[in-house]
Structures are given as structure tokens and as C-alpha cells.
Chain A
Amino acid sequence: MPHDHGQPAPSPAENMEAFLDGLWKQNPVFVQVLGTCPTLAITNSVSNAVAMGLATLFVLVCSNALVSAVRKLVPKQVRIATYILIIATFVTIVDYLIKAISVAVYKALGPFIALIVVNCIILGRAEAYASKNPVGKSILDGLGMGIGFFIALFSLGSVREILGAGTFLGFPLFGPNYQPWVLFLLPPGGFFTLAIWLMVFAAWKDRKKRREVKTMAEAA
């Protein structure tokens, strides 16, 4: 495994890239299609999506930092168990924190807080990034990925709550006569909304690629 023995300190540009990758180019939900279980289950309202996004962001940043810090001490054979232990520690903290802050949110999120432990984004970043990179970059990566996940949940939650209930964060948007599209609050609505966002991203990437080809062809 390559370690950073004698590597020069990462440049600001590299740090920026570590951060920005998760937001857009490597967005965990829209590009890597990871963590779809909480993405589909917890986005029926904006407030649930925000709570879930923040909880995951916190766990991701902390676990990335700790995994990166202990990466040279952990033998290869037990590394996964170590990651899970580290992640579970932070999930327990989040679990208690949410319960202390708002019992309503805690009940709405239900078992999905505990299930952050097995969120593949977190384990994936621990294994693929934090175990190979210094603490600073790992924290930036965790921030980028976590905010990317947050953006994805927020996008899904907004569409589903606005269409499905006509409200945003509980505030009615369209007056009392608005016809809610109940389907979008139900599980199929989650799949439809995720599919629509994936289509938007795919179309956007497609367009960008075509433009690049065009400019290359013009330059040549």
C-alpha cells in the first residue's frame, strides 16, 4: 500500500480537488450511486433529508479523520473491523445527539440512524481514501463527500416534499387548494425522483462530453 513517506505536503490545488470531487465529479449518490438505501428511504421530507445529511456528514468527516490518523498502526488483516468500530463509535454519538436535540426527528429517522454504520459511502471512503491519505486531505475528502451526499438528499427531499405535500420544510407553498401528488411521498416516488435526478446528471455529462469533443475537433 503506498504511504506518504517523504511525500511533499499537498498543494492547495490538490486539497481543493479532494474536496470538490465529492461535491460534483464523484458525487456519492448522483455519480457513484452509493448509499441508495437512506437516499430512497429518508427523503420524503426536506427536514428528514437535512437531518440525515448532517448526521452522515459528521460521521464521514470524523471517521475519515480517525481512520487516516491510525492508518499506519492498523494491521491489514483487521482493518475493516477497525473501520467499522470507528464508524460505529461516531454513529453512536450522532444517535445520542439527535435524540437529545429533537425526539421528533429521531423518531422520523428511525432505524436509519443506526444504519449509517453500514452506509457504503462511509466504509468506501475509509477504505479507498482515508487509509491511504494524510489526515488533512482525508478530512477534506470526507467534507466533500458528505456535502455531496447532503446535496443529493436535499435535492431529492425538496422535489418529493414540494410535489408530494406542496410544502417546503413544512411551510405551505401553493395555498390550500394545491393538489398534492401523494405518490411522491410513497416509496415509488423515491425511485422516480432518484431516476429523474440521475437522468439530469447523465444528460448534463453527455452534453459536456459532446462539447469537449467538439472543441477538440475544432482545435485539431
Chain B
Amino acid sequence: MPKLTAEIQLRTSPHLHTPRSVEMIMRHVVYAMLPLCAFGIYVFGISVVALLAVAVAACLATEHLCCHLAGRASSINDWSAVITGILLALTLPPGFPLWMTAVGGFVSIALGKMLFGGLGMNVFNPALVGRAFLQASFPVAITGYTPALSASRFTEFIPTTLTFPFLQPPSLTAWITAARVDSFAGATALMQQKFDRVTVELLPLFLGYESGSAGETSAILILLCGAYLAARKFLDWRIPVAMLGSAALAGQAFHLLNPAVYPNGAFVLGSGGLMLGAVFMATDMVSSPTTPLGVWIYGALMGLITVIIRFLGGLPEGVMYSILLGNAVAPLIDNITQPAIYGARKKAKVTA
């Protein structure tokens, strides 16, 4: 928003104004994510500090570079690149190699945002574009999960964090054994469920003292942060409600059909990145629909796709792809759910 000057401004009506600006909204989203960062650091240690710092730095540097190359004013002050960086870091395993994180940050901003024309033009959530790139490029490293609450987490980095650029991260098996965390299978709750049919207890799952990506583990904390944003009207509460609701319902339906294979709806809600995705990524103002009905369809569609990928697909987690698919169809949803204009006649058969 341009700064108001002391001069008299000639404007057409309406003369109402709002103190909200892009920069202010983005800043509040960052505030809402800080508790998640703090919790991630508490559970997984200093590796998450490095992860967050590198991701944010890479995003800011890429944004500045792209603006410079495009010959326009740098847009790093609007906080949106910071959000992308934090979100990207929160979706990665805590010990993810830092050089790969930097690559992810670069791809997020350069490919996911600036090539489309910058903030407000991107079709997909930039952080998820970066993560999808990392998942396709480094499928082994991105599943290298480490146990939560290891004793030495504040004194040493997870060995994979400091991998030399362009080299493979070392194997984590020995380090995990040495860390001696009870009953850690080297897998997230979702992986255990999918590959070993072991369903973990629900309470630690919702509290977040479990293995997983850096910021996705605590479902309750994410919900609280989301509630703050929804109360301040910085995000559309319908999207997470629709997405979580449809995921829980679909999961429960599968569970009732075959309880031996599929976990129940509560497990679906608490595990993996569903909460983080539903609250902070699906609600991205740029890449989600704008019509009241469209928002419900969009959320429900993503929840359903998440469960389908988790239960019927080859991967343990499907939130990332479901949100990217939701982003892809968002303009179509907008198109078919345009509200009727008050007083207007029925739409003519041939429309644009």
C-alpha cells in the first residue's frame, strides 16, 4: 500500500480505508508460525534452527536476485518470501541436508513464484513447489526422519544436516541407535501405519512429541495458531474446516470398511502434515478460490485426495500433492461457482 502523504489526495469513492496491507497480513502469518518454529526447535534441536535459517535466507536471496534480474524494485520487504522459507523448512525432515534446503528455497521462489510474476500471480503454493522438487530429486534424503526429543539435540547437529554440498547425506542408522530413543523405528507415524500396520497412540500424535517433519508434528499447536489467524480474519476458516472434515470423514469411512488395514479418522487428522497443510498452505490467499461455495469444494477435494493418496497410493503422505492439485483446479472451481449477481436474469446459455 502506498504511503499516505500529507498532501490532499483526490480519490473517487468509496472513501473507506483499511489499515490492512499485504505486508501487515504476511507479518502476522509469520508471527503465527513462530510458535511452531519454537516447538520444532524444542523437539528436534538446533538442526531445526539451521534448517529455518537456511530456508529463509535462500528464499530472501532468490527473491532479491529475481527482482534484480527482472529490473524492478526488490520485494523482499513484504514478508511473503519469509513465509515461504519458514513453511518450506517446517515441511522438511529435521535433519534434512542444508544444501538441499537451499536448493529447495531457490526453486520455491524462482520457479514457484517469480517465474509466474511474483506475489499474487503464482498458481501454486511456492513452498510446496520447492518441496515437490526436493521430493522428486532427493527421494531418499527427504524420508530421513529422526527421533523426537533425543538427549543431545541441543548440543549437536543431526549428522545429515551438515552434509557437504552435492554429496549424499550419511546413513542415519548408527546415529539413531546411539541416540537411544526408546522404541524409535526410524519412521514417522504415517510410515509405520502404512508399511507395518502399526498404529501409534493418539495423544503424543496430537501433542507432537513424535517423529516427523520439523514443524508438522503438533496438531494442537497448529490448530491454536490457525485459530488466532482465523479470529483476526487473516485466513478463511472454511478451507481448513472443509479439508480436515473431509479427510476425517473419508478416513473414518475407510476405517469402518476395513479396520485392520486403515486407521480411523482421528489418526488421519493427527498424523503427518495434514494440519500444517490445511491451516497454513491450503489457505494461501493467492492460490485458493475466492467464492464462498468454491472454498468449501476446494477444501473438501483436498481432504479427500489426501486420504486417497495415503490409503490407496504408494506414498505414506499425500498432503503436498493434494494441495498442489487443489491449487491447480482452484481457478476452475472459481469459474463454476460464480455467485449470481443480485437482480440479474438467469445466465444466458452461451457464456464466456
- Contact present for A177 and B138 (CB under 8 Å): no
- The smallest beta-carbon distance between A155 and chain B, in angstroms, is 20
- B137 and A177 contact, CB distance less than 8 A: no
Q: Do A183 and B137 have beta carbons less than 8 Å apart?
A: yes
Quick check: is A114 within 8 A (CB to CB) of the other chain? no
Flag if A182 contacts B139 (CB, 8 Å). yes
A92 within 8 A of B: no
CB distance from B32 to the nearest CB of A (A): 32
Q: Of A174, A182, A186, A188, which is within 8 A of B138 by CB?
A: A182
Chain B residue contacts of A178, Cβ below 8 A:
166-168
Task: Tell me, yes or no, whether A179 is within 8 Å of chain B by CB.
Answer: yes
| Contact of A181 with B by CB under 8 A | yes
A163 to chain B, nearest CB (A): 9
Cα–Cα distance between A177 and B137 once the two chains are bound (Å): 16
A186–B136 CB distance below 8 A: yes
B141 sits at the interface (CB 8 A)? yes
**B133 contacts A by Cβ under 8 Å:** yes
1/0 per residue, CB under 8 A from A, across B256-289: the answer is: 0000000000000000000000000000000000
CA distance A134 to B141 in the complex (A): 58
Tell me if B138 and A181 are in contact (CB < 8 A).
yes
Q: Are B136 and A183 in contact (CB under 8 A)?
A: yes
Please name all residues of chain A whose beta carbon is closer than 8 Å to the beta carbon of B138 when the two chains form the complex.
179, 181-182
Name which residue of chain B comes closest to A184, CB basis.
B137
Contact B137 A181 (CB under 8 A): yes
Task: Tell me which residues across on chain A come within 8 A of B163, comparing CB atoms.
Answer: 179
The 8 A CB mask of B134-167 against A (1 = contact, 0 = none) is: 0011110100000000000000000000010011
Q: Do A183 and B168 touch across chains, with their CB atoms under 8 A apart?
A: no
B141 touches A182 (CB 8 A): no
Cα of A69 to Cα of B146 in the assembled complex, Å: 70
Q: Which residues of B contact A174 (CB under 8 A)?
A: 166
CA distance A186 to B141 in the complex (A): 18
Q: Mark B222-243, 1 if CB is under 8 A from A, else 0.
A: 0000000000000000000000
Q: Closest chain B residue to A164 by CB distance? A: B137
Residues of A within 8 A of B100 (CB): 179
Residues of A within 8 A of B139 (CB): 182
Q: What's the Cα separation between A183 and B166 when bound, in Å? A: 14
Q: Establish whether residues B133 and A183, one from each chain, have CB atoms under 8 Å apart when the complex forms.
A: yes
Interface 0/1 of A157-189, CB less than 8 Å to B: 000000000000000001001110111101010
Distance of B54 from chain A, by nearest CB (Å): 16
- State which of B133, B136, B166 has its C-beta within 8 Å of the C-beta of A179: B166
Residue of A174, A183, A188 most packed against chain B (CB within 10 A): A183
Query: A residues within 8 Å of B by Cβ?
Result: 174, 177-179, 181-184, 186, 188
* Residue contacts A-B, CB under 8 angstroms, 16 given: A174-B166, A178-B166, A178-B167, A179-B100, A179-B138, A179-B141, A179-B166, A179-B168, A181-B137, A181-B138, A182-B136, A183-B133, A183-B136, A183-B137, A186-B136, A188-B136
